[in-house]
Amino acid sequence: MGGKKYRLKLLPSHSASLQSRDFFPYLVSRLLSGKYRRISIVKMWEPLIRERQIIPTPTGRHALWYFLGIAGLKKGDEVLIAGYNFYVIVRIIVQKGLVPVFVDIDPETLCMDAADLANKITRRSRLVVVTHMFGNPANVSEIHSICKKNKILMFEDCAHAVGTLEKTTPVGQLGNGSLFSFGIQKLLTCFGGGMLVLSNHFTENEKKFQHNVSRLKSFLDTFSRFLSSFFMTGKLYGWFAYPLIKLSMILDRLGMAHLRNILEPSRDNPHYRFDVNRRAPFKPFMKRMIQLQMARLEENISRRRAIVQRVKSRLRHLPEIKLLNEDKHGRSNGSYLGIYVPAPEKLSRYLKERGILSHPHEFYDCSNLEQFSEFGTYCEHSLYASEHLLRLPSYPSLRDAEVDYMLSAIESYFEKHTKEND
């Protein structure tokens, strides 16, 4: 393989799309917090969200929590949600005493299938939570009209979808509410933070969302995420993460996966419980960080989309791989890049040995998880995504040569495995 020069270098599955100047607002936040406080969040989001209330929150999941609190749902009400999902979102629904009803996804977009939604509506349905998974636009026009017809609320999970367009409209402003996340893994990040977007008819319900987080806890929460983002940005990652990744591979080989979980947190923790006071509040410097990144959002998105195109056009000829149709309902922001392969864990291990990090289980089919077994449903395509989808790196600082190195590795894996099978 012609990739020798990348031997010691690591291609992380994710890298924060931050530049050095993006760290400045955090570093001087004590001095300039008055200035940052005056930034108007409504104005800042004007290119994407109009005529809505915008409420900054400690995380994206807080936004859903608050929404469920003000939407007037009662215990036992049904919430329709895609099976292929971030389990934390389903847990929050369950924790509120609501009943998740799993809807299958469209395998081409990874988002809720409108036809299956229509089949699953009952007299107890009160809310649909629709996720723009991987930053791919869901069919929200269709889903919204189903909701209206049945007098059901609609909430959009836009955690991956800043700048995603459904048809030609930015997502997050069609439903009664939506969430955005600025966590360290997300396309737009400020060491945590999130926001709740609310349709204006909730105005009278607007209330202050109170927090009770000690200053030390708040400081540590933001500071640890600042450090992670800093090390996840640019060249540093390779040097700092490489020994840790090596260690996790050794632990894996020794059958000590429980120790490895400390390095790579679980994506299916049955003991998870949401706690409003666990995370730092949204801080003024975060507004400035978002503002800086908003100014280059289109640049960020077009680089990601170019990477997705480069990968797809070269992998199209491999019969073992199935590709998504990210732009089926508009324009994806290329936030995450996924491909369907026969054995994602095996390919992921092969790539890891070559310094390329990928995720075979970015998300699970929640309708099939043990922790939600009392709500279990068979969702064919969600299960398929859970078992066959591999997430590859697609962050904007990835260079073409690095993408090509990854593609050569994928091709050589399939060459080897086709021969083995013959």
Q: Is 157 helix (H, G, I), strand (E, B) or coil?
A: strand
Nearer to ligand PLP, 172 or 194 (CB): 194
Decide whether 198 or 321 has the Cβ nearer to ligand PLP. Answer: 198
Residues of this chain that interact with ligand PLP (CB under 6 A) are: 59-61, 86, 89, 131, 157, 159-160, 181, 183, 194
Q: In this complex, which beta carbon is closest to ligand PLP, that of residue 61 or of residue 304?
A: 61
Q: How far apart are CA 264 and CA 241, in angstroms?
A: 12
333 or 403: whose CB is closer to ligand PLP? 333
Residue 245 and residue 357: Cα distance in Å, rounded?
9
Please state the closest distance from residue 171 (CB atom) to ligand PLP, in A: 13
**At closest approach, how far in Å is the CB of 193 from ligand PLP?**
7
The nearer residue to ligand PLP, 138 or 410, going by C-beta atoms, is 138
How far apart, in whole angstroms, are the C-alpha atoms of residue 226 and residue 55? 22
SS3 content of the chain, % helix, strand, coil (to 5): 45, 15, 40
Sequence-separated (6 or more) residues with CB below 8 Å from residue 295: none
Alpha-carbon separation of residue 332 from 60, 212, 341 (angstroms): 20, 37, 21
Distance CA 43, CA 86 (A): 30
Residue 174, both tokens: 């069609």
Q: Which is nearer to ligand PLP, 71 or 321 (CB)?
A: 71
What is the closest distance, in whole angstroms, from the C-beta atom of residue 225 to ligand PLP in the complex?
Answer: 11
Residue 110's SS3 state is: coil
Q: How far is CA 94 from CA 80, 84, 257, 274, 394, in A?
A: 12, 16, 28, 11, 33
- The CA distance from 113 to 305, in Å, is 24
Supply the minimum distance, in Å, between the C-beta of residue 287 and ligand PLP.
16
Query: By C-beta, is 6 or 166 nearer to ligand PLP?
Result: 166
CA distances from 365 to 17, 305, 321 (A): 28, 26, 20
In angstroms, give the least distance from the CB of 401 to ligand PLP.
29
The one-letter amino acid code at 279 reads R
Task: Please report how close the Cβ of residue 103 comes to ligand PLP at its closest, in angstroms.
Answer: 15
CB 414 within 8 A of CB 421: no
The Cα 156–Cα 267 span in angstroms is 21
Among residues 364 and 375, whose Cβ is nearest to ligand PLP? Answer: 364
Q: Name the minimum Å distance from CB 131 to ligand PLP.
A: 5
CB of 180 to ligand PLP, least distance (A): 8
Tell the burial category of 9 from Cβ atoms under 10 Å away from its Cβ (0-12, 13-18, 19+).
Answer: middle
Distance CA 234, CA 144 (A): 40
Q: Which is nearer to ligand PLP, 389 or 403 (CB)?
A: 389
Least Å from the CB of residue 269 to ligand PLP:
13
Q: Which residue's CB is nearer to ligand PLP, number 60 or number 83?
A: 60
168's CB contacts (< 8 A; 6+ apart) are 330
In the complex, minimum distance from the CB of residue 134 to ligand PLP, in angstroms, rounded to a whole number: 9
CB distance 247 to 263 below 8 Å: yes
Nearest residue (beta carbon) to ligand PLP:
60
